[in-house]
């Protein structure tokens, strides 16, 4: 049975601020190509790159085409996927506007482009350095480009990082809301565009089996992991003033936590879903500074090896201070103070230069109340767990106990599950396709609302404040799974991290 094709998005002029940057060429343009390949873009869509670098339409098209060819030849899209005819059709939609983000003349030129269309629809995608977010938004408002009174829609997409702490996030929200309504703001988190992340909601709320045990009566704890094998590479200057906590926790990891822990929404609609997510993030217990230190671990990778490849330590990376105390790894214990999750700890960890690339959620259930098989080698069966694998190799697996064939009762741990690639036709994707399509069609379900953003920063603020006053940054060799102190964090609660990726065997 062929799935129903989604409707084509309405016509629009999509302005890409920061068009010369990596985000546009590495993620946004491939995503737009994939949407065009699938017939989801209107033939009257116009994509206009906006940047201070002097260029024109031909130069912009050639710049993007060169990267698409390199990407295709390198196999970054799981095989040859660049169709020259399809690219030629999409290239006709491309144009370029040279202009300073702080110059009113730039916005006057954009207004002329919108006026030249019949529909008047426009999306302004801020793929710029974060310092330009409020500047661009204010100037869009001053130029009247966010006014929808003439009938066309006007939307602004804001990339992360959305602030660097609670105060800056509140200030940025206030700035945006001065010039536009909340329904016009699309705060994007590319993790939410991944199929497996969206499937968390479907699995939870369309299967009665899950909902019956999705609470503190049956769940012992939850582990959420985002492990990367890469280091900071060329992002040293940015990363050294940011760190793993700010870079990953209030956005990516808390969004995964919200998907797991939220209450069933009244309807699968944007406001209903986002309200439940904001509630559960708002229920994260605010630790005191002392408890924040006790329930967190910071790590920084030192020189090590991945296979036979020698890797530098974080302080040896380009544009990183020689005495840097910035964390490249963080592990946290958080508690959600509501009826469903009272007493259930959520353990979060994320790090760079770890042994495997692995983003997953593990729901760890309480063990069976009585050990029936005392004569077996496994006197106390291991607890069951549900593993939701987000990347790579998207899928789900349920670990249960089973008897090994033979005359004796020998209990073993086995996993039942499915891989997305075995059931569905997984076409090459960047993770931005769904999010761009939703923005074009006006669906805000997968985008963060102001209260969700601020609740996330409010939850991590105690850790930021505690770390500013002290606390150790533990070293771990590159190619390993973080510092021993992270294992001790769970060992204090008589628990342990689930092994990652290939380490499971």
Report the catalytic residues.
252
Radius of gyration of the chain from Cα atoms? 24
Provide the phi-psi class of 495: left if phi over 0, else alpha when psi is between -120 and 50, else beta. beta
* CA–CA dist 364, 264 (Å, integer): 20
Residue 308: half-sphere exposure toward Cβ, Cα within 13 Å: 0
User: Sheet holding 122-126: strands in order across?
Assistant: 94-98, 46-51, 13-17, 122-126, 154-158, 185-187
Tokens of 117: 């269309």
**What does each C-alpha distance from 194 to 80, 256, 394, 428, 449 come to in angstroms?**
22, 11, 9, 12, 19
Angle at 81 between CA 79 and CA 85, to 5 degrees: 155
How far is the C-alpha of 176 from the C-alpha of 170, rounded, in Å?
A: 10
Buried b / exposed e across 338-372, counting CB within 10 Å, b at 16+? eebbeebbbbbbbbbbbbbebbbbbbbbeeeeeee
**Nearest of 284, 391, 415, 380 to residue 337 by alpha carbon:** 284
Both tokens assigned to 419:
């891989």
Dihedral, 333, 337, 342, 344 alpha carbons, nearest 10: -20
Q: Which two tokens stand for residue 93?
A: 């939609």
C-beta atoms surrounding 101 within 10 Å: 19
Tokens 């001065």 locate to 178
Peptide bond just before 368 cis, omega within 30 deg:
no
Q: How many CB atoms lie within 10 A of CB 411?
A: 19
Whose tokens are 């990183």? That residue is 320
Angular region, 40: left φ>0, alpha ψ -120 to 50, beta rest: alpha
């Amino acid at each position: 049975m062929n799935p129903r094709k989604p409707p084509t998005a309405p016509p629009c002029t999509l302005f890409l601020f920061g068009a010369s940057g990596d985000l546009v060429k590495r993620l946004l343009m491939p995503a737009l190509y994939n949407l065009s390949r699938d017939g989801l873009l209107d033939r009257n869509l116009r994509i206009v790159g906006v940047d201070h670098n002097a260029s024109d339409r031909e130069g912009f098209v050639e710049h993007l085409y060169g990267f698409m060819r390199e990407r295709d030849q390198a196999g970054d899209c799981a095989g040859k996927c660049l169709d020259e005819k399809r690219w030629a059709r999409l290239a006709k939609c491309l144009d370029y506007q040279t202009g300073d983000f702080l110059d009113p003349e730039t916005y006057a030129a954009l207004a002329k482009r919108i006026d030249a269309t019949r529909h008047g629809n426009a999306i302004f995608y801020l793929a710029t350095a974060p310092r330009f977010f409020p500047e661009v938004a204010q100037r869009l408002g001053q130029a009247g480009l966010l006014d929808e009174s003439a009938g066309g829609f006007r939307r602004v997409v804001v990339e992360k990082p959305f602030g660097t702490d609670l105060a800056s996030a509140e200030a940025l929200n206030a700035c945006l809301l001065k010039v536009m309504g909340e329904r016009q703001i699309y705060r994007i988190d590319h993790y939410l565009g991944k199929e497996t992340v969206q499937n968390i909601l479907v699995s939870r709320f369309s299967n009665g089996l899950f909902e019956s045990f999705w609470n503190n009566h049956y769940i012992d704890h939850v582990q959420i992991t985002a492990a990367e094998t890469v280091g900071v590479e060329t992002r040293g200057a940015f990363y050294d003033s940011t760190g793993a906590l700010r870079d990953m926790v209030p956005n990516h990891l808390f969004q995964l936590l919200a998907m797991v822990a939220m209450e069933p929404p009244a309807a699968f609609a944007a406001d209903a879903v986002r309200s439940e997510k904001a509630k559960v993030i708002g229920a994260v217990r605010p630790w005191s500074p002392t408890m924040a230190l006790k329930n967190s671990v910071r790590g920084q990778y030192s020189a090590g090896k991945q296979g036979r490849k020698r890797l530098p330590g974080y302080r040896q990376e380009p544009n990183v201070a020689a005495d840097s105390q910035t964390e490249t790894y963080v592990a946290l214990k958080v508690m959600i103070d509501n009826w469903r999750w009272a007493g259930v700890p959520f353990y979060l960890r994320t790090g760079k230069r770890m042994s495997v690339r692995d983003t997953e959620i593990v729901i760890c259930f309480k063990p069976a109340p009585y050990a029936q098989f005392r004569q077996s080698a496994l006197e106390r069966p291991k607890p069951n767990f549900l593993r939701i694998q987000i990347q790579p190799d998207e899928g789900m697996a349920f670990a249960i106990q089973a008897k090994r064939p033979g005359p004796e009762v020998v209990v073993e741990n086995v996993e039942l599950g499915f891989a997305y690639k075995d059931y569905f036709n997984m076409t090459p994707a960047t993770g931005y396709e769904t999010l761009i399509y939703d923005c074009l069609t006006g669906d805000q379900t997968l985008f963060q609302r102001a209260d969700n953003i601020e609740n996330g920063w409010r939850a991590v603020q105690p850790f930021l404040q505690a770390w500013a006053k002290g606390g150790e940054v533990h070293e771990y060799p590159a190619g390993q799974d973080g510092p021993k102190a992270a294992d001790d964090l769970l060992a204090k609660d008589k628990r342990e991290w689930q092994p990652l990726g290939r380490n499971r065997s």
